[in-house]
């Protein structure tokens, strides 16, 4: 058996911590490691962390690997500002440029790993023009990175569902082919028939026994109405714990009492939220979510694609964006930002065996920082990254 020992690290509380990894799992974690019995066939590798800060593997809860132009020539954005402009513009660009979702997602997936992300949920466009082409590219990327990156794929009908005949059948095929989660967007604003839209979605999810993750950009009471319809269906189908609402801008626009009442219902139904903490939009109230017991995780959304020129595959940078958006200044508040891109992400997306404890999947990041706050504001260099027990960054270099 091959054993990997990590020595001389520090935990988030500043105390010494050492980790023994066996067969891709954390076997021992504590202030110091017991010596290994000398057994034939045992091979031990050792990392001397030299006081580096130990973090759990970072979690990207919401991105779109298939859309990115990462590693490609710069995309010149001249798109209109309406949602439908952006959807049409992207579809046109992908068709004309010959954009390869497989190559792009692999380049970005590797960059995520090199920056310490070991668990990742990506939405993948499914529509009647592209069919399952983008999905096949991302499935191939998942296969290539399977030893290290734990990737969930959301079948996502970016162009809406009700207007384009055949979309539901394609989503059905996607879930049969390897997508893990059913995505959707804006049942009022895009599909313009929220009950029909959500009934189609929840029926399909129920058929496959899969979770759902809905992009909800709808404002104020319109968005709240969509959430209420989702809650009804979540409870009716017994899908508590299997529903995520991404963005949920509306929760930041409601009166506090109305938002709190809705958050209490979300908590009861086990619904989680994901935010990108966008500087230009309202956001769900972070502290109210935590008080209500609603997981709120962080994600980038798209990175360097036709929708946005921004973003990097660095979840410590996303944690900084969360800190800036929510005005988190104290060290204990910045620890909450780190929580959004670690434990809250694992909770929202149901990544199993997550964390720094014996038995967990061995996903670890060692950074040059004194604590979580410094790691975030400096986007501290990743000194070592271990993913599923494999060293993917050593002495700051991706291997």
> Which window, 85-93, 104-112, 297-305, 367-375, contacts Zn ion (CB under 5 A)?
297-305
By residue count, the chain amounts to 399
> Which window, 168-176, 189-197, 232-240, 295-303, contacts Zn ion (CB under 5 A)?
295-303
> Which window, 50-58, 251-259, 296-304, 358-366, contacts Zn ion (CB under 5 A)?
296-304
Containing 151, the helix (H) or strand (E) segment is strand 150-156
Number of residues that bind Zn ion (CB under 5 A): 1
Judged by beta carbon, residue 180 or residue 301, the one nearer Zn ion is 301
* Smallest separation (angstroms) from Zn ion to the CB of 9: 34
Judged by beta carbon, residue 247 or residue 382, the one nearer Zn ion is 247
CA distance 247 to 245: 7
Q: Is 129 helix (H, G, I), strand (E, B) or coil?
A: coil
Q: Give Cα 78 distance to the centre of its chain.
A: 28
* Smallest separation (angstroms) from Zn ion to the CB of 64: 6
Residue from 90, 125, 127, 301 touching Zn ion (CB under 5 A): that is: 301
Of residues 233-252, those binding Zn ion (CB under 5 A): none
The encoded tokens of residue 72 equal 């490609």
Judged by beta carbon, residue 303 or residue 376, the one nearer Zn ion is 303
Judged by beta carbon, residue 25 or residue 91, the one nearer Zn ion is 91
Of residues 18-57, those binding Zn ion (CB under 5 A): none
Judged by beta carbon, residue 33 or residue 273, the one nearer Zn ion is 273
* Smallest separation (angstroms) from Zn ion to the CB of 331: 31
> Which window, 23-31, 85-93, 294-302, 350-358, contacts Zn ion (CB under 5 A)?
294-302
Interaction between residue 66 and Zn ion (CB under 5 A): no
DSSP string, 221-255: HHHHHHHHHHHHHHHHTT-TTSEEEEE-GGGGTS-
- Cα-based distances in Å from 250 to 131, 222, 321, 361: 31, 8, 19, 36
Judged by beta carbon, residue 301 or residue 305, the one nearer Zn ion is 301
Residues with Cβ within 8 Å of 250's Cβ and at least 6 positions away in sequence, in order, are: 216, 218, 219, 220, 221, 222, 223, 224, 226, 227
* Smallest separation (angstroms) from Zn ion to the CB of 117: 16
* Smallest separation (angstroms) from Zn ion to the CB of 249: 12
Residue 81 exposed, middle or buried by CB count within 10 Å (0-12, 13-18, 19+): exposed
* Smallest separation (angstroms) from Zn ion to the CB of 327: 24
* Smallest separation (angstroms) from Zn ion to the CB of 276: 8
Q: What does the DSSP 8-state code read for residue 71?
A: T
* Smallest separation (angstroms) from Zn ion to the CB of 310: 13
* Smallest separation (angstroms) from Zn ion to the CB of 340: 16
Residue in this structure with the two tokens 């466009």, named with its chain if needed: 125
Residue number of the CB atom closest to Zn ion: 301
Of residues 332-361, those binding Zn ion (CB under 5 A): none
Judged by beta carbon, residue 191 or residue 301, the one nearer Zn ion is 301
Closest to 211 (Cα-Cα) out of 221, 219, 201: 201
Judged by beta carbon, residue 125 or residue 301, the one nearer Zn ion is 301
DSSP string, 333-398: HHHHHHHHTTHHHHHHHT-SS-SSSTTSB--EEEES-SSHHHHHHTT--EEEEEETTEEEEETTEE
Judged by beta carbon, residue 185 or residue 239, the one nearer Zn ion is 185
Q: What does the DSSP 8-state code read for residue 293?
A: T
* Smallest separation (angstroms) from Zn ion to the CB of 154: 9
- Cα-based distances in Å from 255 to 229, 280, 312, 330, 341: 19, 20, 34, 27, 27
> Which window, 26-34, 147-155, 231-239, 298-306, contacts Zn ion (CB under 5 A)?
298-306
Residues at the contact surface with Zn ion, assessed by CB under 5 A: 301
């Amino acid at each position: 058996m091959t054993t990997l020992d990590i020595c001389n690290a520090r935990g988030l509380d500043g105390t010494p911590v050492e980790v023994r990894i066996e067969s891709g799992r954390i076997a021992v974690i504590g202030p110091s490691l017991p010596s290994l019995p000398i057994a034939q066939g045992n091979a031990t590798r050792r990392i001397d962390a030299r006081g580096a800060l130990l973090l759990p593997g970072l979690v990207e809860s919401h991105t779109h690997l298939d859309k990115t132009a990462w590693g490609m020539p710069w995309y010149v954005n001249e798109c209109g500002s309406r949602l439908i402009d952006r959807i049409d513009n992207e579809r046109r660009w992908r068709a004309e440029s010959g954009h390869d979702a497989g190559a792009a997602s692999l380049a970005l997936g590797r960059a995520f790993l090199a920056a310490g992300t070991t668990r990742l949920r990506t939405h993948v466009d499914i529509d009647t023009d592209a069919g399952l082409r983008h999905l096949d590219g991302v499935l191939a990327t998942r296969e290539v990175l399977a030893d290290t990156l734990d990737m969930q794929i959301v079948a996502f009908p970016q162009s809406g569902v009700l207007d384009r005949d055949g979309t539901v059948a394609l989503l059905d095929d996607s879930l049969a082919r390897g997508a893990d989660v059913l995505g959707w967007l804006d049942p009022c604003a895009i599909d313009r028939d929220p009950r029909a839209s959500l009934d189609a979605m929840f029926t399909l999810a129920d058929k496959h026994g899969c979770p759902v993750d809905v992009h909800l950009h709808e404002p104020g009471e319109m968005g709240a109405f969509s959430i209420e319809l989702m809650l009804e269906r979540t409870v009716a189908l017994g899908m508590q714990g299997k529903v995520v609402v991404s963005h949920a801008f509306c929760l930041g626009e409601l009166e506090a009492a109305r938002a709190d009442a809705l958050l209490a219902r979300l908590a009861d139904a086990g619904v989680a939220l994901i935010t990108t903490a966008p500087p230009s939009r309202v956001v769900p109230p972070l502290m109210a979510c935590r008080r209500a017991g609603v997981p709120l995780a962080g994600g980038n959304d798209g990175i360097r694609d036709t929708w946005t020129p921004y973003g990097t595959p660095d979840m410590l940078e996303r944690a900084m964006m969360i800190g800036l958006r929510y005005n988190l200044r104290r060290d204990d508040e910045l620890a909450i930002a780190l929580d959004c891109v670690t434990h809250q992400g694992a909770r929202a997306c149901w990544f199993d065996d997550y964390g720094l404890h014996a038995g967990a999947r061995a996903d670890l990041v060692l950074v040059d920082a004194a604590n979580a706050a410094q790691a975030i504001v400096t986007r501290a260099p990743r000194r070592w990254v271990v993913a599923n027990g494999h060293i993917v960054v050593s002495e700051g270099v991706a291997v």
